[in-house]
A and B are shown apart, each in its own frame.
Chain A
């Protein structure tokens, strides 16, 4: 077994191995017979391939069946060796003739496995029955295993060798082999190469024509046999291409060629040829053919699509012809491919003029509005729906039409966009209806929202522009037959010139211009206005040019009629701006607008009439109220002038005859619009009118009856304005109409009342009656005023003459004063004020009120004032002054009681001393807004008692503080507590303007309105920092002195001082300051104040402390400081007082700057 195994591994020759195997089995088992049967390729038989013990001729020829009834066949089907112990009793298998021939009694067989099927069977036999043991069976099986392994290895090696040979052959032959065919025997020889081409094992080709045909692909067999038969029949060259199905199932293409070998000497016919494997070439050919086929199919599909499109378009055409909306189909370049008549109607061009043309060229106006959307549809493949388009086309050049345009991309079967389809629906009528509805709605809103004719007129012509007209003219007939005109145009510049032209060339009374009727009873439509028509209307060449520029191309003139009255006309024009044209629909809209407008005007007129009737009642009621209020004459006349406004008049004027009864003087005016006051003028700025003048006011007085002026001339209302003012340009033109009525007293006319309205022909006879009623009611007041006018003038003149003509001007302080006499003559006089400068920069302020009124009080006031001026120069303080005045006037028993407030103010330091003789307290408004009344003990009024005390109080007034002195007329009201008056004054002062003169006027205006019930005097004082002053508060500490010196010297440098001068002045100031420090009560929070002023080359210094100075001691060091001051300064004054000491020094500067 080991030997056999080794041999099986080494041997490359199957026959040798099998021979050795059978010999070894027979020898080992000690039997005569052994054999190997090999299974044949067809699988039906087993051929004895090797054997031992058999008679000659058996090995290589005996065949055993593979069926289960033979010994070998049975072994094939099972892995277990088959043992036949005794053939005599064997029933499973039948003995073959060869076994019987050799007298075999006992047999054993085992399968030799192989891949993919068993190789065969190993069998051993003996002529003795039951010769084999189990070990023998096992042995046989082992041998077959060794053989199987060896044979499998051989089979693999052989297959490898065959494959290599095949590949080599194919390569060498170039897929080509040769054949030879003998026609007589029909035998066919194939070269090894051809066998390889046909996939036949070498030498295995059966060698017949049928065997060849068998390999040919069934589909090609008929062709191949026909070709062969044909070639043979015609002795022609054989050539064909056919497929074969190789035994392994692979299909190949073969190019077969052959020809008959020339026949020599009766030999049988023979054909030779080649077979070439052309599978690869065929594959390439096939691929090309497939591509060609695809191309062809694609071409056919395209043609089909085109036919389809044509059909679709044809169907579309049919649809389009009968549609009421516009359809069009454009290619991708927006050229018309198809359209229907409604679409062609858009342009007004012929149907044929569209096709092939670009929409941009055919419908440029439309295209500019839809280009974006259409291009978008083309680009995105998404439809665009309902784009609103308004345009004018050649079809109707003067008419704007409206459409809703939609576009959708047209996509072919291939998915490509073929073009754009468009659907256009005309909505012009709808649009126009909408527009008309909107216009009417706006008009209704306007007419409903305003009952004011002016507003309505102002806006109605704007309504139509620019939707319904480029320009709009309104002509409203006035009572005198002229027209009120309102013109609007889309271009404001042209509008202004049209207005100007209309004023220059107005319509005549019949509503014609240049003989052409613009304003008639019926509506007129001029749908197409030609240049000739425009020229006809022109008044001259300049007018013609303007009308040409205006360029009306179409117009509607609608009459304005309401309540059977013809009011005017409303003109709507389309011009060169839009080139549109009116049609019948527009006429209806114009008429509708005109009717509504006329009704609105009529309603406004009726409303005005009703309002005026109401106004008359209002005016009478107000006049009744006036009679119950106490007012002086001027106030009453002013009140009358105001009370008729605005209900009855926009302006009112009152004239009175002067004492010689030959001139009229304007005494009061009223005007609704304050900005127009200049047009009416102020009473005082006009000259008296000679009574014989022709103006309405004079006529009324002369004739003693009302004058109604429907349209006033330029100087009718205010003839008293001087020429310069009248020349200033139609100021009185604000008055359009007026009424003038006389003011009567018992002796006849004493003046005139004048009422004016900006509107011409505003007043009616009913208004005249009202005016007369007004005059009748106020006449008694006016008469009363005239009687006392002169007396009052005398008192006031005296009073004013006794007051200072000018206030003294002082550095460091601003002062303003006012005296306003009482409006009633009976209460004029007695209030006064004075401002008296004192040596050393102080000032005495006085304000007083003498009891009683009239000339007597004025005279008493004058005497007190003189006495005060005299005493003040003695250097007395407020308290001493009051004491002296009281003694004096009480003694001579010459004056009524009088109140008086005196204040001395040091303008350098702001230090104030004041004392009061029964006078209201002064008021101080601090720079920070704090307000305080300077309360003091005060004394009784002057002349109240023989001996009165007037305590003095001290206060400070800093720069920018305000001291306010006044008399009680400013704050007192009847039935009102004084506190209320004080509060009112404080409120006014807090919000008063800064400038003192303006402030004084403002306070008077706000508190007494320029016409007080009692006299009013006031005096306002404010210390000002004018740069020439020095002010410094210092703590009472020695170390402060160096700072003072530095600051003071710096200040002195401003005024051209020499170095020595500055040094000396600084030393003097320092000495005074050192004293203030030394004298201060303690060294705590005490302060002192250094102030100085430079005025005209003189420096005045004041050092004010809160301590008490000692008199200088002749030999003491303290006295030395004072002596130094006196030596260094021109003048030194020390004022000791209970609450502090003031040092005042002066020095004149030499003026040389170092």
Chain B
């Protein structure tokens, strides 16, 4: 994995929590996407993408999230994003209208709660 960013994967019940840390760009997005997809499998009920530790996100990262959303949707799995209100990446999320497709939560707990509701 590229040195600029990494993903930490954990499970909470049947939900996969992927914490994206550091920078996501053209150089490492594909690798991170593969890791997440592999961990996700078909049995997970959903995916929480935690972007609160993400310092940089470019359009390829956004594209990855769109791709994941599309993939989960086709498997009836759900996707939640975790992002601080004042995160710099929020501007990118907003510009690409990602927030209109995927619900945003301020914390992982809240995202998990929303998924189990």
Contacts and interface: CB of A to CB of B under 8 A. Distances in A.
Contact of A1120 (B2, B26, B63, B91): B63
A985 B29 CA distance: 55
A884 interface: no
Contact of A1045 (B56, B60, B91, B96): B56
Contacts of B58: 1041, 1067, 1070-1071, 1074, 1121
Interface stretch (A68-76, A214-222, A1056-1064): A1056-1064
Given A1060-B88, A1120-B96, A1124-B95, A1042 B59 contact: no
Interface residues of A, number: 22
Given A1059-B88, A1120-B62, A1038 B27 contact: yes
A1060 B25 contact: no
A1039 B3 CA distance: 10
A1128 B91 CA distance: 9
Interface residues of B, number: 18
A1121 B59 contact: yes
A1060 B88 CA distance: 6
A635 interface: no
Contacts of B60: 1074, 1117
Given A1059-B88, A1060-B91, A1124-B96, A1042 B62 contact: no
B95 A1128 contact: yes
A633 B32 CA distance: 83
Contact of B59 (A1059, A1060, A1124): A1124
Nearest to B60: A1074
B56 A1071 contact: no
B59 A1117 contact: yes
Contacts of A496: none
Nearest to B23: A1042
Interface in B88-112: 88, 91-92, 95-96
B4 interface: yes
B95 A1042 contact: no
A1123 B95 contact: yes
Contact of A1042 (B4, B63, B96): B4
A547 B34 CA distance: 111
A460 interface: no
Interface in A1100-1153: 1117, 1120-1121, 1123-1124, 1127-1128
A1078 B96 contact: no
Contacts of B2: 1039
B63 A1117 contact: yes
B62 to A, nearest CB: 6
B27 A1067 contact: no
Contact of A1041 (B25, B62, B66, B92): B25
Interface in A817-863: none
Nearest to B63: A1117
A381 B9 CA distance: 112
A689 interface: no
A1071 B26 CA distance: 10
Contacts of A1070: 25, 58
A1120 B67 CA distance: 13
A1071 B59 contact: yes
Contacts, number: 56
Contacts of A1063: 88, 91
Contacts of B56: 1045, 1067
Given A1063-B91, A1070-B58, A1117-B66, A1038 B96 contact: no
Nearest to B64: A1117
B96 A1041 contact: no
Nearest to B96: A1120
A1018 interface: no
Nearest to A1059: B88
Contact of A1123 (B4, B27, B66, B96): B96
Interface in B62-101: 62-63, 66, 88, 91-92, 95-96
A62 B110 CA distance: 176
Q: Which one of B56, B60, B88, B91 has the greatest number of beta carbons of chain A within 10 Å?
A: B60
Q: Which of B25, B59, B95 has the most CB of A within 10 A?
A: B59
A79 B59 CA distance: 155
Nearest to A1116: B63
Interface string B3-36: 0100000000000000000010111000000000
Contacts of A1042: 4, 23, 25, 27
A963 interface: no
Contacts of B59: 1071, 1074, 1117, 1120-1121, 1124
A1038 B91 contact: no
Contacts of A1064: 91
A1077 interface: yes
Nearest to A1121: B59
Contacts of B95: 1123-1124, 1127-1128
Interface core residue of B66, B88, B95 (most chain A CB under 10 Å): B95
A1038 B66 contact: no
Contacts of A1060: 88, 91
A240 to B, nearest CB: 137
Nearest to B58: A1070
A525 B62 CA distance: 116
A1041 B3 CA distance: 13
Contacts of B63: 1117, 1120
Contacts of A1059: 88
Contacts of B88: 1059-1060, 1063
Nearest to B88: A1063
Interface in A1057-1085: 1059-1060, 1063-1064, 1067, 1070-1071, 1074, 1077-1078
B65 to A, nearest CB: 11
Contact of B92 (A1038, A1039, A1074, A1124): A1124
Interface in A48-89: none
Contacts of A1128: 91, 95
Nearest to A1062: B88
Contacts of B91: 1060, 1063-1064, 1067, 1128
Nearest to B94: A1127
B26 A1077 contact: yes
A367 to B, nearest CB: 95
Contacts of A1039: 2, 27
B66 A1078 contact: no
A596 B26 CA distance: 99
A555 B56 CA distance: 102
A1050 to B, nearest CB: 15
Q: Among B23, B26, B66, B88, which residue has the most Cβ atoms of chain A within 10 A?
A: B26
A322 to B, nearest CB: 117
Interface string A151-181: 0000000000000000000000000000000
B58 to A, nearest CB: 5
Which of A1038, A1064, A1078, A1128 has most chain B Cβ within 10 Å?
A1038
A208 B58 CA distance: 162
Contacts of A1127: 95
Interface of B: 2, 4, 23, 25-27, 56, 58-60, 62-63, 66, 88, 91-92, 95-96
Closest 9 CB pairs of A and B: A1038-B27, A1117-B63, A1127-B95, A1038-B26, A1121-B59, A1063-B88, A1074-B26, A1120-B59, A1039-B27
16 contacts: A1038-B25, A1042-B4, A1042-B23, A1042-B25, A1064-B91, A1067-B58, A1067-B91, A1071-B59, A1074-B58, A1117-B59, A1117-B63, A1120-B59, A1121-B58, A1121-B59, A1123-B95, A1124-B92
Given A1067-B91, A1120-B63, A1124-B95, 17 more contacts: A1038-B25, A1038-B26, A1039-B27, A1042-B4, A1045-B23, A1045-B56, A1059-B88, A1063-B91, A1067-B58, A1074-B59, A1074-B60, A1077-B26, A1117-B60, A1117-B66, A1120-B62, A1121-B58, A1121-B59
